Structure 1
Amino acid sequence: MTYFNEETKEFIFENYHKLKPFASFLPGIAGKNGVPMWTYYVNRGQLIASFGIENKDHAILDFTPANLSYRNTSVNGFRTFLKVNDQCFEPFGTTDSNRKLFIGRNKVSIEETNNDVQTTVKYFHVTEKKYPGLVRKVQFKALKDMKLSFIDGLATFWPYGTGLYAQKNMSNLAVAWFDVFNQENHIPFMKNRSTTEDTEEISALEAGNFYVSVDQHHKRLKPIYDSSIIFGYQNELAVPHVFNQMPYDEFIRQNQASTNQLLSGFSTHEVHLRKDETYTFYTLLGSYSNLDSLNESARHWDFNYFESLEALSESFIEELVAPMDTQTNYPLFDQYMKQSFLDNLLRGGFPYIFKGLNKDHVYHTYSRIHGDMEREYNNFYIEPRYYSHGNGSYRDVNQNRRNDVYFVKEAGIFNIVQFLELIQLDGHNPLTIEGSRFTFNQKYQNKLLEHVVKGENKLIDYLKKPFTPGSLLMFIENNIETNISPQTLLDLIMYYTDQTTQSSFGTGYWSDHWIYNLDLIEQYLAIFPDKIDFMLFDQPIKFYQSKMSVYPRKYKYVLNKEGFPRQLGGLYEDKEKVKSLDLKQGSNFHKFTNGKTVSVNLYSKLLHLATIKTASLDPMGMGVMMDSEKPGWNDAMNGLPAIFGSGTTETINLARLFKYLIEFSHLFKSKTVSIQSDIYDFFTNLTHHIDDGFDKIQDIRESFDAKTNLYLSDAFVDITIAQLIPLIERLNDYIHRGIKNAFELGKGLIPTYLTFEATTYQKNGLRHPHLNLECIDVTNWKVRPLPHYLEAPAHYLKSMLNVIDAHSVHQHVKASGIYDETLGVYKTSASLEDETLEIGRARAFTKGWLERESSFVHMSYKYLIGMFKSGLYDEFYKDIKTSMPPFMDPLVYGRSTLENVSFIATSNNPNPKVHGQGFVARLTGTTSEAMTLMYLMFLGKQPFSYKENKLTFKVNPKVIKDFFKEGRLSFKFLSHITITIHNPHHVDTFNLNVTHYTLSNQNERIKIQGDSILGEHADDIRNLKYSHIDAYLG
């Protein structure tokens, strides 16, 4: 049985240990001024499968993939052994019993009743402290009078300094470095005595991992780090023979060894309990920079301290997700939205604002690459500092920041600039986003030093190099004495800084990454439609410059070892570029020939992006080529670049980009713009030759790439936008002809992926520079579409204005084999059975698993958004009841239906046990799509509009009646405004308009007639003057 407790906000599984196995995690957020820890759990044993700080190399319990964790956690994780009136047993062990699992937003708990003892265990993270920690709260409730002896803790505890490789491959050697310190204080401090690398320079390790247990009487419990005094000869840790057989007073007098063996982290005690009496203790497990600091902090670690940590952990997370507070007739949907908000910021970050001299700084905290037990291939990193953030991928972070402007409006323009300036002149972008660094403007030193009592020189030296806010704040706390708070000094320093995005090439160039910038623009204009000129012409934007370049066709079109034409080895490290420009690790931006960094406005950047992507279309002008070793959104189609693959999803979004450009151009047609001369020449040259065939277009593109590989000319062309419009429209016409042809090729449903066969070619006398394959020139092509995928129709539906045409597309999708009739979900594609392995690993996967014909929820949601935006409301609301987790059966879904997953195994999978089950949890773009859907449903596509020099605000809900509870639903907007929609007749709202509004705050309440709010009142809403808006439907 499963159910949701509305009071405690916990999802509950009874007898969780007998249900489908699943993997999840605690959020790993410690607050702005806290140091985070990562913790992964499974619904087996006592849950915790691995945890640590920073990355896999700093684990306290070693990182293990999900499928092995299901097997190992019960033995290697947390264990409890009880002796009740001399009878021994293990709660949550192999003996069958009734158990419950409680999943909260920032906590997870289990409960079992066995042998007259109710055992409850709760886990949560330390919040807003200078050390990372996992807290385990254990409570025993006696169901009769008893003497209770217990051992509780971690079976496997790795000392600080033992990396993942040593844990998995050299653990027998690694124990030679292990030692335990601080036993006398009952806080074992475990570490390697020195660094373990086989080098000539060795240094001591100061940092260590520790644990401590404190009970309700403020007593520190006796620690046991030597498991042999518990298990004896039982090295497999199955049965605690020594504890079972030895009297407790003898047991605790045993000597422990601290060296040359694997270590544990147990605590032990004995208590006498009356019937219904409880005994509670907390165990804190974490890392500290040095032993002296640990013992200093631990002076305050009494039972009250841990109670306050528990309360703070709860209140902090609820405050964090408050911007997604939703109240409908579906409590699970409401909590699902909060969970989606939380998991979204774990991938995209939460935007905090620092005041700046020239402009405010937006700094995203809490983000990290999606690495967990089901994504063990990713080397995640969680910065062990205040204002923590980690690395992420361009596509992931971009998509998960799409809705930032809806709750922190200052983030809107920042995100647009940050991601678009990472687009290179060749149209590609780096993969890895490493967050922001700040550089202090040294001329404002005196503004700071008047607040420094001691440590001036240290601070001056520190500020000479780029820094993050978290590293700076920790430096101030540890090294600088001030007459103001460290946080105030940080804010002051940040005021005089410049911000730079850090990024690196990563592993390739994907063909789809650029398209998500259009969503950032769309969302920004939904809040700031009156700021189009500010967005287009007042934002200086750079061009990222990578060490990696793309070969022209003459090198990357080759004959493979079997003699077949292929596109291979498209990328190379451009040593000439690195040497000539002295490119450094981190962010490098294109420069003019005079050495200054290239900077253009957003209009010019978008114009160039449209131009370079038009020049990247395939030989038939239908799809954007995958010509740089990587595919598009579907990573598992990794074979497509080799077989000259292209994607129409990108072409659909290219048409969307041109739509924006044409709208913007007509709006500002009288304006004169300065366009960098190389960019302008490329644009006009392509426009004049757009109908001259694929080879001519590629010659123009490759010529531009070669000319601008190192520098851009510092010359600019001044031209009115009106003069550009005919040229832009000519390229736009070319794009739409390609889309029309793609529809005809797909027989009424646009194919997502195309491949091309080189039917006529000749060797050109060259060999590939590093593959040593013969190179060819191709003169004729034959196109072949792959089976239908959901991806392109999902993107196409979003742009459709005619509901009749949209309905036709929808019917084609339903009839194409993409829809799973049994489960009522959309699959990634129709059957791939007749495809070869050449298309990518997706073909090698099992049907209905990962990217092969499963329901990839992120793309399903994109399709749902397309349905909604195109006006298919009835079909949309029918589909969400089978496609959205909060409406699914958790016993089939296999986990909490508040949590998203990457994919759902579909009914074509050969294993019927997994049909409908969700896998690879939470850190997915689905979270962003869920938030977009909620705003579309409740608020409308365009909450703010700008007409006749007036800002207008309008609530335009399209909601089915069963979402309303007693005729009302509410949601948060811009973090601080609660919007309540009143539906007195309790009907579907598809054809209803608002008749009047009330706007209120603590001081006033005003009523406004009509379906829109105009002028000053609309400005007041955006400026957060009102805390409540009530919209009444007629």
Structure 2
Amino acid sequence: MFETQGDVFIIRDYQKQKPFASFLSGIAGPMGIPMWAFYVNRGQLMASFGIRDKNGQMLEFYPANQAYHYVYVNGFRTFVKVDGTVHAFFDETNAGQSMHVSRDQVSIKETSKALGLDVTVTYYTLPTERVAALVRKVEIQNLKAEPRQIEIIDGLAQILPSGLDHGAYKAVSNVLQSWMSALHQDGYVFYKLRASTGDTAEIKEMHEGNFYLTLGLDDPLYISDTRLVFEEDSSLRTPYPFIKHNMRTLREMPQAHVNQVPSAMTGAAFTLDHRKVFYSLVGHAADETIIHDLLKRLSPDFLAEKEVENKRLHEDLVAGIETKTAHPLFDQYLKQSMLDNIIRGGTPRVMDTRKGPIGYYLYSRKHGDLERDYNFFQLEANVYSQGNGNFRDVLQNRRNDIFFEPRIGDFNLYQFGALIQADGYNPLSIEGIRFRFEGDHEKLPEAIRHLLKNTFTPGQLATLLDQAGLPADSTLKKVLKQSTAIIKADFGTGYWEDHFTYLYDLIDAYLAVYPDHLVKVLFDKRYPFFQSPVDVLPRSEKYVLTKAGKVRQYGAIRHLPDQASGWLMHDDQLVEVNLFGKLLILVLNKFGHLDPACIGLSYEAEKPGWNDAMNGLPGLFGSGVSETIELAKLVDFLLDTARKHPDARVVSLRDADLLANAYLQIEEKDAMKAWDARMQALERYRAALKGPRITSEHQARLTVPWLEHMKKTLDKAIEKAKAIDIVMPTYLTYEATSYTPLLHEDKTAKTGYDGLPLVKVESFEMKPLPRFLEAPARYLKARSTPEEAEQLYRAVRKSQLYDRPLEFYKTSESLEAFGHDLGRIRAFTPGWLERESNFLHMTYKYLLGILKAGLYPEFFYEINTNLTCFMDPRIYGRPPIENVSFLASTVNPDKKKHGQGFYARLTGSAAEVLSMWRLMFLGARLFHDQEGVLAFSLSPKLPASFFKDGNVETRLFGNVHIVYHNPDGLDTFEKDVAIQTLVLHKTGEQITIDGDKVVGHLARDIREGFVNKIEAHIGKIA
């Protein structure tokens, strides 16, 4: 039923298995145009595809629950007539079917013993071309000895012309047929609208369109009129004309090419000796001249070569994590996780600019697909394609990039550090990088001068150069060398409290490779402040009394309609600080809104933390212990740095320094009074940001008292959280127990959100929520001692956070006793989405925490039932090397869904897998600054069972081949086991080093790519 052959996962009788949705990668190479293509394990797979976003749909987009149905109707069909009988291949009732899933393509196969025919259909997207297209390869095998006379109709039952708005088509598809045309040209069909569809005075003629063509069949009959195949069968099920007539007769029948949703099908007749292969191409072109250029090169051999190229493209993208263990499925899982990490976070292409090298991220996108129908995803329909994403998602998915491409240096630190605002928050939406040319325009080729007067993308420039017949690659490099990268972002929909917590992971990864650059990266470079047109309101404007008599925090932010997203300025100049100063400002802001009990960080800006579905928490004065743990870690890092480098110059904001001094004056004995004093100081600081934004400069030693005060308070906060429950709470809520109405001078009530009266809260009662997995995961990763870690691990495993029948972890214990004011999580069915399910990203954060805490036997025990690659695919319901957002747990009332995975691939779990790989195969700290000398060491944490014939192989920096030799079958994480010798391979040279450490110029050679192989011999310490 389920099996693996190399990197191909095979599903027998795929239409009889649990339904699942997935997608092709949408990667077409740097010089290709990407296409999104979503498939399901039903019918002929392809449920929807198109360019750019949902408005570029070619096969109509339906959410997964509908796509499972419509794929049979609107999707690809194959009708074969042999011996006078028409057979519909890949009908749900047929036997002998299988589905084959690879990283670069997906295919289906049906063997009909009765007909003596075998049909295979393969889908992949067209790489490295200036058109976006889906390639469909059809192979027909004759299983009988004698030749067969075959007639076939194959293709899409419905295709949409380009230019249709997705929402408009859903609403008024019937009337929109009036604009549609299917133009039968020489060798292809062009599907377009005759003019723009908007009800406006300006009408635009449409030149762009979608196209369909077939190669490999003699004299193909192109069918755009569905009635030629289905007559008046509006169900599009039965090909009555094909049943009644031969292909010669069908050719003579008229087709209507207007006023209907067309089809994209091909008819043909041929003699089948042994095997017949033909290709169909469905794509988009800005105008028909692009298709004409493509046709000059198109042939079956060309598309066969493109299939090989597409596979090579995908394999090259994941080659940097190629790992060989005793578990081949795990090795493939690493590659798939890396590919999906790239799809969400992008892959860096290092480009030299006026201010030095930067990482230009190709292929990234905001997650959105058949299951995540709520997101309006975008793939830039251009060469050098880049996409948008959410701050949290992109930041996490780029966490490990430096271990694959060290040349990106501190670029990600700069990009995300710059986006931290002076109030400690950040924009949600991260856009692609643009560039501003700052060289001499007169020395540019005339064809590109107009474009470079404004900001531009590499894709725009490369396209223009290509159209002008100029060398794209060399000219692009010259232009970028004289250009500055422009970071683009937008406020989006809110301020989440957890976003800052992922910044330290980026710092930690950077220093694991460049520890000798710590002073340079923290104190030398200047960082601007992003500025969103949204303020966080003071308490006096957001604490309201509801009609039910409850005090709530509603309407916590204010949009400033006259202000656009941009950068913090003073006297028309960017306000800039160094990274240490930026992080100091960040921790001062976060420290200021510790909750009334001085335990969690308050969700005071209308959004919660990592768990989006807890959207009611801000209204309940909710706070997060997870964020406190992460803040304490960041404060510890800054304090340690300031103590080691007391003379380093910190560039900060003058008002932030005043805020830090104000905190020192606060008495912490009474938690409520301390909370009020901190919040007053923070609110004064935020008000001051409306005035002059003046920077300050001082030695790092000045920050030590500030940081020591915060550390002391935060350490106590965490101890308080641990005292509440052995499994520390993740969330706290507060109920106002006494308050005073706020009045105008005329004694009338001041009002806030929704006209509700504003109040001043004088006391709160703390109410912890049930146990969630997040705070334990964060604590294990960041702060636990070995003894604490083991105790916490045992407690979590004994709790209701552990799903015993399925042996995996859940997001939380039961929420049934709580009201719907927690958020949408309470409305979800238990065991579904974020509610009490195995939400894979959080489970993997917990596994990573176990690994970081040094609980190695426990970690390797847990991955057997928690990593999807080791799960039973019959239960998981999809290829186990593909991650999902969540698995339904056993508290879900639908027993058939228990253990099944939902919401494919585009999840933060991929980032956690890469972090686990790093710790398992490389170690936490690759490079060390050893008294001013650079040192390199490997520290794998692997059980003996991972070694095949005594060896494990992996890679570092994409091109360093690492081989661990473990002839005695030792667990490498045991205290008496270590690397005994290292062998470095350089071009024409082999160097043997006793021990586990490389120092000096050889360590630098490893980092700079002059070492291509490292062999590490593992043994017992004598």
Aligned counterpart, 1:72 = 70
Query: Equivalent residue of 1:63, what SS?
Result: coil
Per the alignment, residue 271 of structure 1 pairs with 270
The alpha-carbon deviation at position 710 of structure 1 amounts to 5.4
Q: How does 1:149-548 map to 2 (within 5 A)?
A: 149-181=151-183, 183-215=184-216, 219=218, 221-274=220-273, 277-442=274-439, 444-446=440-442, 448-449=443-444, 452=445, 456=446, 458-478=447-467, 480-482=468-470, 485-548=471-534
Q: Deviations over 1:128-163 (max 9, x none)?
A: 100100000001111223211000000110011122
* Equivalent residues of 1:212, 1:221 under 8 A apart: no
Structure 2 distance, partners of 1:323, 1:178, is: 47
1:374 alignment partner, SS class:
coil
Please say which of residues 165-174 and 963-972 is displaced more in the overlay: 165-174
C-alpha contact (below 8 Å) 1:526/1:942 kept by paired residues? yes
**CA shift for structure 1 position 770:** 5.3
The answer to whether the Cα contact below 8 Å between 1:590 and 1:711 also exists between their aligned partners in 2 is no
- Among 764, 787, 804, the alignment partner of 2:742 is 764
How far is 1:801 from its partner?
5.1
Aligned partners of 1:672, 1:91: CA distance in 2, in Å? 72
Amino acid at match of 2:944: K
CA distance in 2, matches of 1:537, 1:221: 68
Kindly provide the amino acid, as one letter, of the partner of residue 252 in structure 1: R
TM-score (norm 2): 0.97
Task: Give the Cα separation in 2 of the matches to 1:265 and 1:214.
Answer: 14
> How far, CA to CA, are the matches of 2:884 and 2:85 in structure 1?
43
In structure 2, C-alpha distance between the alignment counterparts of 1:931 and 1:366, rounded to whole Å: 18
Q: What is the distance in 2 between the residues matched to 1:800 and 1:983?
A: 32
Q: Which amino acid aligns with 1:1005?
A: Q
How many pairs are equivalent? 1004
Structure 1 residues 412, 797: CA separation in 2 closer, same or farther (over 3 Å shift)? farther
Give me the whole-angstrom Cα distance separating, in 2, the residues matched to 1:523 and 1:848. Answer: 34
Measured in 2, the distance between the counterparts of 1:589 and 1:686 equals: 27
Which of 790, 802, 810 aligns to 1:827? It is 810
User: Residue deviations 1:436-466, cap 9 Å, x none?
Assistant: 1100004x335x43xx3xxx1x422210100
Determine if the alignment matches structure 1 residue 719 to structure 2 residue 715.
Answer: no
Q: Identify if the C-alpha distance between structure 1 residues 801 and 552 changes in structure 2 by more than 3 Å, giving closer, same or farther.
A: closer
- Written as runs of structure 1 = structure 2, the 5 A alignment for 1:463-862 is 463-478=452-467, 480-482=468-470, 485-575=471-561, 578=562, 583-584=563-564, 587-592=565-570, 594-689=571-666, 691=668, 693-709=674-690, 711-713=692-694, 715-716=695-696, 718-745=697-724, 747-765=725-743, 767-769=750-752, 771-800=754-783, 802-862=785-845
Alpha carbons 2:353, 2:485 under 8 Å: kept: no
Q: CA deviation at 1:667?
A: 1.4
With over 3 angstroms needed to count, the CA separation of the structure-2 counterparts of 1:791 and 1:763, relative to structure 1, is same
Q: Which runs of 5+ in 2 are unaligned?
A: 744-748
Compute the displacement of 1:79 (Å).
0.3
Q: Counterpart of 1:257 in structure 2: which amino acid?
A: A
State the 1:292 CA deviation.
2.4
Per-residue deviation, residues 638-664 of structure 1 (Å, max 9, x unmatched): 110111100011000001001101111
Which residue of structure 1 aligns with residue 14 of structure 2? 16
Write the distance in 2 (CA, Å) between the matches of 1:752 and 1:1033.
41
Unaligned runs of 5+ in 1: none
1:839, distance to aligned residue in structure 2 (A): 0.6
Q: Secondary structure at the match of 1:347?
A: helix
Report if the CA contact (8 A) 1:178-1:191 is conserved. yes
2:554 touches 2:753 (CA, 8 Å); kept in 1?
no
Q: State the alpha-carbon separation in 2 of the partners of residues 225 and 698 from structure 1.
A: 67
Question: Where does residue 945 of structure 1 map in the other structure?
Answer: 928
User: What CA distance in whole angstroms lies between the structure 2 residues aligned with 1:361 and 1:433?
Assistant: 16
DSSP 3-state at the match of 2:280:
strand
Which letter maps to 1:497?
Answer: S
Q: Label 1:320 to 1:164 Cα distance change in 2 as closer, same or farther (>3 A).
A: same
Q: CA RMSD in A?
A: 1.3
Q: Give 1:122 deviation, angstroms.
A: 0.1
Provide Cα deviations, 1:2-55, integer angstroms capped at 9, x if missing partner: 11111xx21001110100000000000111011100000000000000000000
Of 681-690 and 871-880, the range deviating more from structure 2: 681-690
Letter in 2 for 1:599: E
Worse-superposed segment, 628-637 or 140-149: 140-149
Q: Which deviations, in whole Å up to 9, do the C-alpha atoms of 1:308-339 show, x marking residues without a partner?
A: 21111111111111111111111111111000
Shift of 1:235: 1.2
Task: Map Cα deviations across residues 996-1016 of structure 1 (whole Å, 9 max, x no partner).
Answer: 000103311110111111111
2-side partners of 1:690 and 1:1021: how far apart?
Answer: 52
Q: Does structure 1 retain, via aligned residues, the 8 Å contact 2:630–2:782?
A: no
Q: Give the distance between the partners of 1:248 and 1:788, measured in 2 at CA.
A: 67
Shift of 1:675: 3.1
SS of residue matched to 1:859 = helix
The residue aligned with 1:31 is 29
Give, in whole Å, the separation in 2 of the partners of 1:535 and 1:367: 26
TM-score relative to the length of structure 1: 0.96
Distance 2:67 2:714 in 1: 50
Letter in 2 for 1:712: R
Query: CA–CA distance in 1 between the matches of 2:482 and 2:922?
Result: 38
Give, in whole Å, the separation in 1 of the partners of 2:450 and 2:277: 49
Partner of 2:746: none
Identity %: 39
| 8 A contact 2:215–2:299 mirrored in 1 | yes
How far apart in 2 are the matches of 1:266 and 1:459? Answer: 41
Please tell me whether the aligned partners of residues 349 and 361 of structure 2 are also in contact (alpha carbons under 8 angstroms). Answer: yes
SS in 2 for 1:29: coil
Letter in 2 for 1:366: Y
SS of alignment partner, residue 712 of structure 1 = coil
Listed as ranges, the matches of 1:1017-1028 within 5 Å are: 1017-1028=1002-1013
Q: 1:710 to 1:473 in 2, by over 3 A?
A: farther
**Take 1:996 and 1:520, find their aligned partners in 2: how far apart are those partners?**
31
Contact 1:62 1:167 in 2 (8 A): no
Counterpart contact for 1:186–1:222, Cα < 8 Å: no
| Aligned counterpart in structure 1 of residue 855 of structure 2, from 872, 885, 889 | 872
- Amino acid of the residue matched to residue 197 of structure 1? G
- Alpha-carbon distance between aligned partners in 1 of 2:588 and 2:919, rounded to the nearest angstrom: 31
Secondary structure at 1:1027's aligned position in 2? strand
Deviations 1:616-675 (A, max 9, x none): 111111111111111100000011011110001100000100110111111101334343
* CA distance in 1: counterparts of 2:185 and 2:735, whole angstroms: 74
Distance 1:325 1:203, change over 3 A: same
**Which residue is 2:122 aligned to?**
122
Residue identity matched to 2:945: D
Q: Distance in 2 between matches of 1:345 and 1:4?
A: 24
- How far apart in 2 are the matches of 1:224 and 1:736? 72
The CA deviation at 1:469 is 0.6
- The separation in 1 between residues aligned to 2:864 and 2:425, in whole angstroms, is 39
Q: Distance in 2 between matches of 1:767 and 1:969?
A: 68
Contact kept in structure 1, 2:354 and 2:484, CA below 8 Å: no
673-682 or 186-195, which deviates more: 673-682
Q: 1:878-893, aligned counterparts within 5 Å?
A: 878-893=861-876
Asked if the contact 1:999–1:1026 (Cα under 8 Å) also holds between the matched residues in 2, the reply is: yes
1:690–1:731 contact (8 Å) kept in structure 2: no
